[in-house]
Amino acid sequence: MNPYVVPGLVVVVLVTVGIGAYGLRFARTTSDFLVASRSVSPAWNAAAISGEYLSAASFLGVAGLILRYGVDVLWYPVGFAAGYLALLLFVAAPLRRSGAFTLPDFCQVRLNSPALRRLATIFVIFIGCLYLVPQLQGAGLTFTTVTGGSYVWGALLVGLVVTANVALGGMRAITFVQAFQYWVKLTALAVPVIFLILQWQSDGRPPVTPPAGEIFPAATTVTVEQGATLTVDGQTRVVRAGDELTFAAGDPVPQVSTVDSNVGMDWLLPGGDGTLFATYSLILATFLGTMGLPHVLVRFYTNPDGASARRTTLVVLGMVGMFYLFPTLYGVLGRIYTPQLLMTGRTDAVVLLLPEAALGSGHLGRLLGALVTAGALAAFLSTSSGLLTSVAGVVFTDVLHAGRGGSVRDFRLATVLAAAVPLALSIYVANMDVSRVVGLAFAVAASSFCPLLVLGIWWRGLTDIGAVAGVLSGGGTAMAAVLITVLGPPLAGWPAQMVGQPAAWTVPLAFAVMVIGSLLTRNRVPADVNATMLRLHTPESLRLQKTA
Amino acid sequence: MTEKRRTRVVLGEVATRRRPADRARADLAEQTPLGEALVRGLVRAQLALALRLALVVVTGLGALPLLFAVAPAVGQIKIFGVSLPWLLLGVLAFPFLFCVGWAYVHWAERNEQDFIAVTRRPE
Q: Which residues 186-245 on chain A approach chain B with CB closer than 8 angstroms?
A: none
Closest to A130 in 3D by CA, of A439, A449, A420: A439
AA letter at B116: I
- Are A230 and A197 in a shared domain? no
Contact A98, A535 (CB under 8 A): yes
Q: Average pLDDT, stretch B84-94? A: 87
Residue A541: CB atoms within 10 A of its CB come to 10
Does residue A520 fall inside a structural domain? yes
- Are A85 and A191 in a shared domain? yes
Contact A78, A321 (CB under 8 A): no
Q: Element (H or E) spanning A411, and its range?
A: helix A408-428
Q: Report the half-sphere exposure of A121 (CA within 13 A, side-chain side).
A: 19
Q: Which residues 267-326 on chain A approach chain B with CB closer than 8 angstroms?
A: 268-273, 276, 279-280, 283, 307, 310-311, 313-314, 317-318, 321-322, 324-325
Indicate the range of A178-187, A245-254, A525-534, B26-35 predicted with least confidence: B26-35
CB contact, 8 Å: A81 with chain B?
yes
Q: Average pLDDT, stretch A328-346? A: 84
Query: Using CA atoms, how far apart are residues A484 and A190, in angstroms rounded to an integer?
Result: 38
pLDDT of residue B95: 94
Please calculate the CA angle A278-A283-A287 and round it to the nearest 5 degrees: 155
Q: What is the pLDDT of residues A140-199, one digit of tens each?
A: 878 777 777 777 888 888 788 888 877 776 555 567 777 888 888 999 999 999 998 888
pLDDT of residue A174: 65
The closest CB to that of A82, out of B97, B112, B119, belongs to B97
Does residue A546 fall inside a structural domain? no
- In the three-class reduction of DSSP (H, G, I as helix; E, B as strand; rest coil), residue A255 is classed as strand
Percentage of chain A modeled with pLDDT above 70: 87
Query: Using CA atoms, how far apart are residues B8 and A375, in angstroms rounded to an integer?
Result: 56
pLDDT of residue A320: 93
The answer to whether the CB atoms of A269 and B85 lie below 8 A apart is: yes
Closest to B62 in 3D by CA, of A197, A217, A282, A259: A282
**Cα-atom radius of gyration of chain B, to the nearest Å?**
26
Q: Determine the structural domain holding residue A374 and report its residue range.
A: 5-208+259-541
Q: Element (H or E) spanning A235, and its range?
A: strand A235-239
Please calculate the CA angle A497-A500-A502 and round it to the nearest 5 degrees: 85
Query: Using CA atoms, how far apart are residues A166 and A16, in angstroms rounded to an integer?
Result: 11
pLDDT of residue A548: 33
What does A99-160 look like in DSSP terms, one character per residue?
Answer: T--SHHHHHHHHH--HHHHHHHHHHHHHHHHHHHHHHHHHHHHHHHHHH---HHHHHHHHHH
Q: Average pLDDT, stretch B46-68? A: 89
Does residue A234 fall inside a structural domain? yes
CB contact, 8 Å: A43 with chain B?
no
pLDDT of residue A433: 60
pLDDT of residue A366: 86
Contact A445, A86 (CB under 8 A): no
pLDDT of residue A434: 63
Does residue A335 fall inside a structural domain? yes
B18 Cβ neighbours under 8 A, 6+ residues apart? B26
Q: pTM to 2 decimals?
A: 0.85
Give 3-state DSSP helix, strand, coil % of chain A, rounded to 5: 75, 5, 20
Closest to A54 in 3D by CA, of A423, A324, A435: A324
- A444: burial class by Cβ within 10 Å (0-12, 13-18, 19+)? buried
Q: What is the pLDDT of residues A244-279, one digit of tens each?
A: 777 777 777 777 766 667 766 677 767 655 678 888
Q: Which residues 431-470 on chain A approach chain B with CB closer than 8 angstroms?
A: 458
Does residue A547 fall inside a structural domain? no
Does residue A229 fall inside a structural domain? yes
Indicate the range of A268-272, A439-443, A541-545 predicted with least confidence: A541-545
The answer to whether the CB atoms of A325 and B90 lie below 8 A apart is: yes
Indicate the range of A228-232, A393-397, A533-537, B27-31 predicted with least confidence: B27-31
Q: Average pLDDT, stretch A71-90? A: 90
Q: Average pLDDT, stretch B102-118? A: 89
Mean pLDDT for all residues in chain A: 80
Does residue A33 or residue A463 have the better pLDDT? A463
Q: Which residues 87-106 on chain A approach chain B with CB closer than 8 angstroms?
A: 88-90, 93
The answer to whether the CB atoms of B29 and A545 lie below 8 A apart is: yes
Q: Minimal Cα–Cα distance from B56 to chain A, Å?
A: 12
Closest to A239 in 3D by CA, of A252, A226, A254: A226
- Are A231 and A329 in a shared domain? no
Query: Using CA atoms, how far apart are residues B123 and A443, in angstroms rounded to an integer?
Result: 51
- Are A232 and A289 in a shared domain? no
Q: Minimal Cα–Cα distance from A279 to chain B, Å?
A: 7
Indicate the range of A3-12, A90-99, A482-491 predicted with least confidence: A482-491
pLDDT of residue A545: 44
Query: Using CA atoms, how far apart are residues A247 and A354, in angstroms rounded to an integer?
Result: 18
Chain A residues with beta carbon closer than 8 angstroms to that of B16? none
- In the three-class reduction of DSSP (H, G, I as helix; E, B as strand; rest coil), residue A415 is classed as helix
- Are A401 and A271 in a shared domain? yes
pLDDT value at A227 more than 90: no
Closest to A441 in 3D by CA, of A338, A294, A312, A322: A294
Closest to A382 in 3D by CA, of A172, A151, A179, A124: A179
User: Number of helices (H) and strands (E), helices first, in chain A?
Assistant: 25, 5
Q: Element (H or E) spanning A170, and its range?
A: helix A151-202
Whichever domain contains A110, its CATH number is: 1.20.1730.10
Q: Report the half-sphere exposure of A15 (CA within 13 A, side-chain side).
A: 19
Tally the domains of chain A: 2
In sequence order, what are the beta bridge partners of A231? Answer: A236, A255
**Cα-atom radius of gyration of chain A, to the nearest Å?**
24
Indicate the range of A46-50, A441-445, A491-495 predicted with least confidence: A491-495
- In the three-class reduction of DSSP (H, G, I as helix; E, B as strand; rest coil), residue A509 is classed as helix
**What interface predicted TM-score (ipTM) does this complex get?**
0.86
Q: Report the half-sphere exposure of A47 (CA within 13 A, side-chain side).
A: 17
pLDDT value at B10 more than 70: no
The closest CB to that of A314, out of B91, B101, B119, belongs to B101
Q: What is the pLDDT of residues A54-77, one digit of tens each?
A: 887 788 888 888 888 888 888 889
Query: Using CA atoms, how far apart are residues B74 and B67, in angstroms rounded to an integer?
Result: 8
Query: Using CA atoms, how far apart are residues A341 and A140, in angstroms rounded to an integer?
Result: 18
Please calculate the CA angle A321-A323-A325 and round it to the nearest 5 degrees: 80
pLDDT of residue A515: 93
> Phi and psi dihedrals of A403, rounded to 5?
70, 180
Does residue A20 or residue A359 have the better pLDDT? A359
Does residue A29 fall inside a structural domain? yes
pLDDT of residue A23: 63
Query: Using CA atoms, how far apart are residues A323 and A176, in angstroms rounded to an integer?
Result: 19
Beta strands across the sheet bearing A235-239 = A235-239, A228-232, A255-256
- Are A408 and A492 in a shared domain? yes
pLDDT of residue A205: 76
pLDDT band at B96 (very low <50, low <70, confident <90, very high): very high
Q: Average pLDDT, stretch A41-64? A: 83
Q: Average pLDDT, stretch A524-545? A: 78
Q: With helix as H, strand as E and coil as C, how does A426-453 read?
A: HHHCCCCCHHHHHHHHHHHHHHHHHHHH
- Are A104 and A186 in a shared domain? yes
Closest to A213 in 3D by CA, of A154, A266, A167: A266
Query: Using CA atoms, how far apart are residues A56 and A54, in angstroms rounded to an integer?
Result: 7
pLDDT of residue A450: 92
Chain B residues with beta carbon closer than 8 angstroms to that of A272? 69, 72
Q: Which residues 109-168 on chain A approach chain B with CB closer than 8 angstroms?
A: none
- Are A38 and A95 in a shared domain? yes
Q: Minimal Cα–Cα distance from A64 to chain B, Å?
A: 15
Residue A317: CB atoms within 10 A of its CB come to 27
Indicate the range of A61-70, A311-320, A340-349 predicted with least confidence: A340-349
Does residue B113 or residue A229 have the better pLDDT? B113
Query: Using CA atoms, how far apart are residues A475 and A122, in angstroms rounded to an integer?
Result: 11
- Are A241 and A141 in a shared domain? no
The torsion region of residue A70 among left (phi > 0), alpha (psi -120 to 50) and beta comes to left
- Are A177 and A234 in a shared domain? no
pLDDT of residue B18: 46
B17 Cβ neighbours under 8 A, 6+ residues apart? none
- Are A242 and A292 in a shared domain? no
Indicate the range of A33-42, A77-86, A180-189 predicted with least confidence: A33-42
The answer to whether the CB atoms of B66 and A314 lie below 8 A apart is: no
pLDDT of residue A383: 83
The answer to whether the CB atoms of A314 and B102 lie below 8 A apart is: yes
- Are A225 and A306 in a shared domain? no
Mean pLDDT for all residues in chain B: 77
Query: Using CA atoms, how far apart are residues A253 and A184, in angstroms rounded to an integer?
Result: 34
> Phi and psi dihedrals of B71, rounded to 5?
-125, 80
Contact A513, A469 (CB under 8 A): yes
pLDDT band at A8 (very low <50, low <70, confident <90, very high): confident
Q: Minimal Cα–Cα distance from B20 to chain A, Å?
A: 16
pLDDT value at A40 more than 60: yes
Query: Using CA atoms, how far apart are residues A44 and A31, in angstroms rounded to an integer?
Result: 18
pLDDT of residue B7: 63
Interface A–B counts its CB contacts (< 8 A) at 134
Contact A342, A67 (CB under 8 A): yes
